[in-house]
Structure 1
Amino acid sequence: MSASSAPAHPPVFDLIGHTPLMPLRFAAEGLTVWAKAEFLNPSGSIKDRLARCLIEDAEARGLLRPDSIILECSSGNTGISLAMVGAAKGYQVHIAMSDTASIERRHLMHQLGAEVHLFKATKGYATGINLTLELAAREPRYFLPRQFENPINARDHEEGTAVEILEQTGGRVDAFVAGYGTGGTLVGCGRGLRRQCPNVRVFAMEPAEAAMLSGECPCCHLIEGIAGGYVPPLLVGANLDGIVKIASGEAVSMARRLSREFGLLVGTSSGGNVAAALRLARELGPDARVVTVLCDRAERYYSTPLFDH
């Protein structure tokens, strides 16, 4: 199917968003945190929202032609989501991805028809971003969604994800915490929630081993998809109330706990987010409503330490 013959609104788009917000009651701690089940999006992650909005915006602005090739740097989830959207819309998709990302992500992109360009991430995300710029300079058919700097990324969460959270909580949110890859979820949800809850506190979760927002040097960590040695432009100057540093081991342990105590097969970034939310709930008190997101499914982590037993 070509882009010229693809439906303007593919059926799979109706499955994106409007995910449930679940109370997670931690009996041992006597605390509850609220988690938005973004792993229920059709390709398995929160990035389906991003892929849909960036491509629909590009089409509306006439930036995509039937022969265009969508090219983006991704640690995996955005690549999978763009591959899904590209398949549904009839566009070719090429993804630049670090050779250290889990092999399962590569397989999922290939299954959806995308082509993967692997690179050695000597400078984190910046290496892949520079690669996409070089490739686009040589091939005019390439279209760059620019997820790390495109304001549509944050705006979609502001007008979509945050509105859903407010509807699902009856308009009461005391704190929101999430990790950052592009910064779109954190910045967009923060803005959207503050519109109705001006006193809501917004926190960034980042790996303790790569706490760049805390002014520390990046290092290796096990929370795939976040803090890739690069502070994204969308996050520069963001209105944050604080940072919660979560060690890789804590994120992995919480992801396993979510599977074994709650039946939720989610990845390490979800584990990091919930660990951060639980820490904030402990600090803010048992009556505080702390919200976070479960970013993706565990199946794309089979080859990672998450499944080391």
Structure 2
Amino acid sequence: MSPVSASSWSQPEIFALIGRTPLLPLRFGAEGVTIYAKAEFTNPSGSIKDRLALSILRDARNRGLLSADSIILECTSGNTGISLALVGTALGYRVKILMSETASVERRHLMRHLGAEIQLFQPTRGYLTGIELSRTMAAADPRIFLPRQFENPLNALDHEENTGPEIIMQMMKKVDAFVSGYGTGGTLTGCGRALKRHNPAVQIVAMEPAEAAMLSGESPCCHSIEGVAGGYVPPLLTGAAIDRVVKVTSADALAMTRRLAREFGLLVGTSSGANICAALQTARRLGPAARVVTILCDRAERYYSTSLFASPEFRANENSGQIPGGQLRQATAGTNPGPVATGNGAAATGQPAPIEPEASYAIGI
């Protein structure tokens, strides 16, 4: 596939699905608060990074920085790579991704599925290792274009001009606090600018892993919240109007991500769970009437091989309720396998009916 001409670059229909994502009111009954969550996982590649990829590559084409033989090269924990693969290959460009060996294997599969090439590196210094490697490779090959997501001002500018105004419109101009983690810092900085311009009193809250609380002056360490706090404070956060920093443990982020799936049907990644944890802390501090907005960054399918899907209850459910294959065939042939839960209990009590753990059945074929 040859690159789309500069005059018709935006014609791939998939681009029309990027941005303008829904805002979901999530009522947490036990906590007595509602959190408003921007559903960025509804972007076509499944993450908020589609916005960044489209903005940077559109600008590069308009400025003549991309030619027919250009290679788009970026260091990423995964989501930006998937987004660059989607946008870049749709435009006819070769996309190469530098990725930490610690990132989930599902992200590698998605990038390859979209046509990107992948080179893994050992993250001896977090993201900095890959960033330095990308610069070395670009210096040796003039065909390489570096989006530079960690320092490119277009990253934050796109959120300032699009994501932030979307939130203001969807919240009918009433936002008390915005909560977000930071990987590149683009979402936190850009949305923060837009919201502060609209209402200087709005609180901008940064979420970071408790195990790598760099904004709090602590040293980075290993954590399980992929896509945030990659070992250094990114340049895009310089000068960002951050009013408060909230620390979230990996364990709490994982637990909340599972809760979002079971209580709300939201199949999202661990950073989304961490954002919700920080948003709940913020709402409790500001009061039950506070209108707190956060981001649901990406979808869960890129975390199947991670600790998100490795909890003891998952393993327990796999070993319970097994029945012989013959019995299962008999049940599915027309016999009633047992009572089915309905929503009547929820309607009567105002609470969801309890859901029993799923059983894993051995089918004899």
TM-score normalised to structure 2 length: 0.84
Choose which of 257, 260, 263 in structure 1 pairs with 2:259.
Answer: 257
1:234-287: CA deviation from partner (whole Å, max 9, x where unpaired): 012311001000000000000000000000000000000001001100000011
Structure 1 unpaired stretches of 5+: none
Asked whether the 8 Å contact 1:104–1:302 carries over to 2, the reply is yes
Q: Which residue of structure 2 lines up, in the alignment, with residue 212 of structure 1?
A: 214
Q: Aligned ranges for residues 129-278 of structure 1 at < 5 Å?
A: 129-278=131-280
Task: Please state if 1:100 is matched with 2:102.
Answer: yes
**1:61 Cα deviation after fit:** 1.0
Q: Which residue of structure 2 lines up, in the alignment, with residue 84 of structure 1?
A: 86
For 1:305 and 1:203, locate their aligned partners in 2 and report how far apart those are by CA, in whole Å. 26
Higher-RCO chain (CA-CA 8 Å, sequence separation at least 6): 1
Q: Secondary structure at the match of 1:22?
A: strand
**1:24 Cα deviation after fit:** 0.5
**1:4 Cα deviation after fit:** 4.3
For 2:88 and 2:52, locate their aligned partners in 1 and report how far apart those are by CA, in whole Å. 13
Q: Which residue of structure 1 lines up, in the alignment, with residue 65 of structure 2?
A: 63
Q: Which residue of structure 2 lines up, in the alignment, with residue 293 of structure 1?
A: 295
1:173-224: CA deviation from partner (whole Å, max 9, x where unpaired): 0000100000000000000111112210001100000000100000000000
Asked whether the 8 Å contact 1:4–1:66 carries over to 2, the reply is no
Q: Which residue of structure 1 lines up, in the alignment, with residue 49 of structure 2?
A: 47
For 1:61 and 1:213, locate their aligned partners in 2 and report how far apart those are by CA, in whole Å. 35
For 2:161 and 2:32, locate their aligned partners in 1 and report how far apart those are by CA, in whole Å. 33
For 2:248 and 2:162, locate their aligned partners in 1 and report how far apart those are by CA, in whole Å. 27
For 2:184 and 2:68, locate their aligned partners in 1 and report how far apart those are by CA, in whole Å. 27
Moved more, 231-240 or 36-45: 231-240
Q: Which residue of structure 2 lines up, in the alignment, with residue 305 of structure 1?
A: 307
Moved more, 200-209 or 228-237: 228-237
Partner amino acid, structure 1, of 2:165: V
Asked whether the 8 Å contact 1:210–1:216 carries over to 2, the reply is yes
Asked whether the 8 Å contact 2:192–2:240 carries over to 1, the reply is no
Q: Secondary structure at the match of 2:51?
A: helix
Q: Secondary structure at the match of 2:178?
A: strand
Moved more, 231-240 or 294-303: 231-240
1:95-151: CA deviation from partner (whole Å, max 9, x where unpaired): 000001000000000000000110000000000000100111111100001000010
For 1:190 and 1:22, locate their aligned partners in 2 and report how far apart those are by CA, in whole Å. 19
For 2:42 and 2:99, locate their aligned partners in 1 and report how far apart those are by CA, in whole Å. 23
Partner amino acid, structure 1, of 2:65: L
RMSD over equivalenced CA pairs, Å: 0.9
Partner amino acid, structure 2, of 1:161: T
Choose which of 118, 122, 125 in structure 2 pairs with 1:123.
Answer: 125
**1:5 Cα deviation after fit:** 5.6
For 2:46 and 2:213, locate their aligned partners in 1 and report how far apart those are by CA, in whole Å. 27
Q: Secondary structure at the match of 2:124?
A: coil
For 2:40 and 2:69, locate their aligned partners in 1 and report how far apart those are by CA, in whole Å. 31
Partner amino acid, structure 2, of 1:53: S
Which of structure 1's runs of 4+ aligned residues deviate more than 2 A?
A: 4-7
Q: Percent identity?
A: 69
Structure 2 unpaired stretches of 5+: 315-365
Choose which of 281, 304, 316 in structure 2 pairs with 1:279.
Answer: 281
Q: Secondary structure at the match of 1:123?
A: strand
Q: Secondary structure at the match of 2:19?
A: coil
For 2:63 and 2:195, locate their aligned partners in 1 and report how far apart those are by CA, in whole Å. 28
For 2:260 and 2:84, locate their aligned partners in 1 and report how far apart those are by CA, in whole Å. 27
Partner amino acid, structure 2, of 1:110: R
